[in-house]
Amino acid sequence: MSISRYETGARTPKPEDVAQILATLGVTGTKYEELVDMARDADQPNWLDTSHTGIRRELTTLIEFERTAQRITDVATIVIPGLLQTSDYARAILGETSSDVDARVAMRVGRRDALMRRNAPEFVALIWEVALREPLGGYRTMADQLHHIMAMAERPNITVQVLPAGSTRWHPAHAGSFILFNFPKSAPIVHIEHFQSNAFLHKRKDVIAYEKAATTLRQLAMSPEESTELIATIRDDLEGRA
């Protein structure tokens, strides 16, 4: 009965069950260890092999993580976090690299619903001041973007903290952006986006390093109140230039 339920996906085999089956079948050595390790992680969302997936599947996976996460920590060093972007700001970014701009902009803005639905995840945006001052799309577009961030920060599940520029000491934000997903029952996963590729990290030792980095950056960042004041000041300056 159990074997048939494993085969249909109705039930996830426990590591000890897999070990017993492999022993019965005479499987030993490296293959034995590999299959038992897979069983330990069978209920985790770490099936993704980014070296063999295209952008469409990676995006689908990212959306699923945004939908199912309990907490999302987005460390944004160069551009505004995707879930906080306005359509004009998103277009300024995506328009340079995409032939289907309208569809990609609509999808990115639509992903914002993950933060506004019932039982939405806690969202922590750690934004480097540099990203706030870069007027991508023009001064008016950026001023509107900052106004939108301030409005979103008023929601009870969203926290925005600014990492001040001008640091004389290295900190994890200097190494680049990343998103840390924490799930109710599954192990955390880290998403890293590069120019033409994405990666999902799920090995515990890798994730722990990013968890420590996120903790460090939250300690270095301004408080939410100080952050809102700075964003408002930058917004006003941009509006004066528009």
- Within a domain: 213: yes
Mark whether 35 and 118 lie in a shared domain.
no
The least confident of 100-104, 109-113, 186-190 is 100-104
Task: Tell me which residue range forms the domain holding 16.
Answer: 2-40
At 64-83, the pLDDT tens digits run: 999 999 999 999 999 999 99
- Is the per-residue pLDDT at 6 higher than 50? no
- Within a domain: 91: yes
Mark whether 22 and 120 lie in a shared domain.
no
Residue-level pLDDT at 121: 97
Residue-level pLDDT at 107: 85
Mark whether 100 and 205 lie in a shared domain.
yes
Mark whether 144 and 198 lie in a shared domain.
yes
Mark whether 36 and 56 lie in a shared domain.
no
- Which tokens go with 114? 């993950």
Mark whether 170 and 61 lie in a shared domain.
yes
- Within a domain: 93: yes
- Within a domain: 204: yes
Mark whether 220 and 176 lie in a shared domain.
yes
Q: Which residues partner with 199 through β-bridges?
A: 192
- Within a domain: 45: no
- Within a domain: 7: yes
- Is the per-residue pLDDT at 46 higher than 80? no
Mark whether 99 and 183 lie in a shared domain.
yes
Mark whether 121 and 217 lie in a shared domain.
yes
Mark whether 31 and 70 lie in a shared domain.
no
- Which tokens go with 108? 């990115």
The better pLDDT of the pair 171, 38 is held by: 171
CATH number of the domain within which 234 lies = 3.30.870
Mark whether 101 and 141 lie in a shared domain.
yes
Mark whether 28 and 105 lie in a shared domain.
no
- 171 closest CA partner among 220, 230, 121, 210: 220
- 211 closest CA partner among 179, 183, 167: 179
Residue-level pLDDT at 51: 41
Residue 136 backbone zone (phi > 0: left; psi -120 to 50: alpha; other: beta): beta
Number of domains in the chain: 2
